[in-house]
Amino acid sequence: MFASQAFFARLAATAARALLFIYAITIAAQALPLKVFAMDWQISMITVITNSSILPLQGLVLAHLAAYLDPAEPRYEVFCQNLRRWALPATLGFLLFIPLQSYNLVKGIRNYRQNAAKNERTITQTFGDIRNAVERASTTADLQKRLADLNAPGLSPADRTAPLPAIRPTLLAEIQKAEKKAKANIAQQDPEQFWLFSKQMVGSILAAFAFAFAFAAAAKRSAWPESLLVRFIRYLDWLRKFKSTALGQKVDNFKAKEKAQKDLALTQRSLQDHARKEAQLKKQADNEARLREKHIKAMREKAVRDEQNRNKFDKK
């Protein structure tokens, strides 16, 4: 073991602890005050965690580097084992961030639409009240009082001295122009805020997935022979094979069932044909029997008539 390797091992371990400490301080500072069920708090916390999680990941790498450079020092190996155990809940936490941020994204989009509709209604109502005040006022002083009651901008000094019928069309035109401008400003600002929010949420979701993958590669319990990621990949491979086998069995069963149904249909068709032929033969035999009976009956009747005719002839 070279002295330089031991030095760099201590440096890497110290840097790893420093990075973990900075990460913990950053998260703790952002978490206070706790508002666990507030959407804004959840979004800000998850954003800070995902943006800062490169620090513990680097610390994890540096800790393993220290153990690699100085394998004779047991402290570094114990440090790595502790970090690998802590990587397991970190992986689960990042996986939980994905559905949570997805829910917050959907909720934020719904809130954006509701706020946009609410702002538009507020602008329409506000300018509608001002327009009604201008239309219903009888004098300039009355209009000034109505505008003050609505907390709207008052008349200019020149308009206060002018007769109301003369300035009313101009005021209505200015109100309409101001209303269109206010709605245009909101329509211009809202999409920018919406896209910024959407990009932030999608970025945090993708970052959470990436960090879950990274920490899963390091997550390992002492009883496990391999990391969580390797175990998960093995499980996916087993699941794929199981599905393929189960699917193959289902296909074979389906083919066998289909063949059995076809054979049964052929057998039923053959039985029906045989029964139909037997019925035809029976009908033919019955017809022949009836014809023979008719023929025999006719011969008997003829014999009786002949006998009667002979008797009559003998009597004569």
170-190 pLDDT tens trace:
878 887 888 888 777 776 666
pLDDT at 283 over 90: no
Mean pLDDT of the chain: 82
Q: What is the pLDDT of residue 250?
A: 67
- The better pLDDT of the pair 299, 254 is held by 299
CB 140 within 8 A of CB 155: yes
Provide the percentage of residues in the chain whose pLDDT is more than 90. 18
User: Which residues neighbour 152 within 8 Å (Cβ) at sequence distance 6 or greater?
Assistant: 126, 129, 130, 133
pLDDT at 241 over 90: no
136-180 pLDDT tens trace:
877 777 777 877 777 777 777 776 777 777 777 887 888 788 888
pLDDT at 130 over 70: yes
User: Which residues neighbour 5 within 8 Å (Cβ) at sequence distance 6 or greater?
Assistant: 69, 70
pLDDT at 221 over 90: no
3-state secondary structure 11-64: HHHHHHHHHHHHHHHHHHHHHCCCCCCCHHHHHHHHHHHHHHCHHHHHHHHHHH
242-274 pLDDT tens trace:
777 756 566 667 777 888 888 888 888 888 888
Q: What is the pLDDT of residue 39?
A: 84
| Packing angle of the helix pair 140-149, 74-136 (nearest 10 deg) | 160
- The better pLDDT of the pair 191, 231 is held by 231
Mean pLDDT to the nearest integer, 61-71? 89
pLDDT at 65 over 80: yes
DSSP letters for the chain = --HHHHHHHHHHHHHHHHHHHHHHHHHHHHHPSP-TT-HHHHHHHHHHHHHHTHHHHHHHHHHHHHHHH-TT-HHHHHHHHHHHHHHHHHHHHHHHHHHHHHHHHHHHHHHHHHHHHHHHHHHHHHHHHHHHHHHH-SSHHHHHHHHHHTT-----HHHHHS-HHHHHHHHHHHHHHHHHHHHHHHHHHHHHHHHHHHHHHHHHHHHHHHHHHHHHHH---TT-SS-HHHHHHHHHHHHHHHHHHHHHHHHHHHHHHHHHHHHHHHHHHHHHHHHHHHHHHHHHHHHHHHHHHHHHHHHHHHHHHHHHHHHHHHH-
pLDDT at 316 over 80: no
Confidence of residue 314 (pLDDT cuts 50, 70, 90): low
Confidence of residue 99 (pLDDT cuts 50, 70, 90): very high
23-53 pLDDT tens trace:
999 999 988 888 888 888 888 899 899 989 9
| Matching residue, tokens 């973990």 | 20
